[in-house]
Chains A and B, each alone.
Chain A
Amino acid sequence: MSTLTKILIVLLSLFSIFLCGTIVTYVGTAKNYKQAYEQAQTEIVSLRQTSTSYKTQLEEKQRQMQELSDKLDAEMSKLKSEKTKLEQDVKNAERDKAVLDEKVQNLASAALKFEGTVSGMEGSLKETRGELDKARADAIKLSKNLNEITSSLEEKMVQIDTLTTEKKRLLEEKAKLENQLSGKAPTAETTEPITTQSDKATPAAGLTPGTILKGKVTAIEGKLVTLSIGTADGVEKDMIFHVTRNDTFVCDIRITEVDSEASAGTLQLVQQSPQVGDVASTTW
């Protein structure tokens, strides 16, 4: 074997080993394009499915948004109409309020006037009541004086009756003494005067039957007439009152019901229809 052959064998072996190592290194470290392709294909399919799903969701969302938009538009139009209606109602309410305020002011002014009128009437009423109380006190005083005068008169009349009786008795005794002096035999028995000596007169207490009562007709209900005087003034049941109007006889009233401040009776001898304010008296 020649030397050149030996050298070629060595070089061939070295290059073969070097080239095989290079190829093995390249193939071993080469990228797996099939796996990358399949992975990329899978990712593309997945992304396409995701895109389809997103498109579907987008369409659904757009449809919902459109429906919501339509619904909101309808509600907005409805609310706008309600707003317009409410504004009209507010205007009407304000107009009514203005009218009511004016009425309230008028009523307030009328109430103030009425309050002033009532105050004046209350003052007049107080004055009238004072005058009425004064008149009642005067009437009571006059009635008391009248009763006293009547009692005094009755007392005087009783005294006159007593004196008349005493005078009559004394005249009888005088006649008897004259008869005795004229020659008639005296009788043993004691003579008793025909006229008995009455008790001494005592002042009358309270009202007497001769007291004059005077009142007014206050109410008329059919045949029942109410008078302004009662038991406090001396009115009693079955008393007769003569009703007159301007010195003209109207009728008689027989008392059937008596109260402290009033009395009532039935009509008798009616000449005219009695009226409120007619004078009723126990005497003419």
Chain B
Amino acid sequence: MDDVPTTTSKVKASSNLYTALLSLACGSVAATAGFVAYKCLFVYGTLLKVVDSIH
């Protein structure tokens, strides 16, 4: 516990390259989720509701 600094100083990235990679990964996941949501809303008319079986 003593090794953990207790100061609330500003966090600073140790490497901008890996930060950019993480941002790219998060952005792609968000874009994919938005695209999937758009398609579900456009095709089935709802986002989360399960489509009833065809009678």
Contact = CB atoms under 8 A, between A and B. Distances in A.
Interface string B20-41: 0110111011011001100100
Given A16-B29, A20-B29, A27 B36 contact: yes
Given A16-B28, A20-B29, A20-B32, 12 more contacts: A1-B14, A1-B15, A13-B24, A16-B25, A16-B26, A17-B25, A20-B31, A23-B32, A23-B36, A24-B32, A34-B43, A34-B45
5 contacts: A5-B18, A12-B22, A13-B24, A19-B32, A33-B43
A9 interface: yes
Interface in A18-50: 19-21, 23-24, 27-28, 30, 32-35, 37
Q: Size range of the interface on B?
A: 20 to 34
A10 B21 contact: yes
A98 B6 CA distance: 148
B11 to A, nearest CB: 13
B54 A9 contact: no
Interface of B: 14-15, 18, 21-22, 24-26, 28-29, 31-32, 35-36, 39, 43-45, 51, 54
Contacts of A13: 21-22, 24-25
A244 B5 CA distance: 205
Contacts of A30: 39
Contacts of A28: 35, 39
A37 B44 CA distance: 11
A24 B35 contact: yes
Q: Size range of the interface on A?
A: 20 to 34
B38 to A, nearest CB: 9
Contact of A1 (B18, B28, B35, B39): B18
A200 interface: no
Contacts, number: 49
A17 B51 CA distance: 29
A135 to B, nearest CB: 136
- Leading 6 A-B pairs by shortest Cβ distance: A16-B25, A20-B32, A13-B25, A13-B21, A20-B28, A9-B18
A184 interface: no
Contact of B43 (A10, A19, A24, A32): A32
Contacts of A34: 43-45, 51
A16 B26 CA distance: 8
A21 B28 CA distance: 8
A15 to B, nearest CB: 8
B18 A17 contact: no
A13 B18 CA distance: 9
A205 B28 CA distance: 177
Contacts of B14: 1
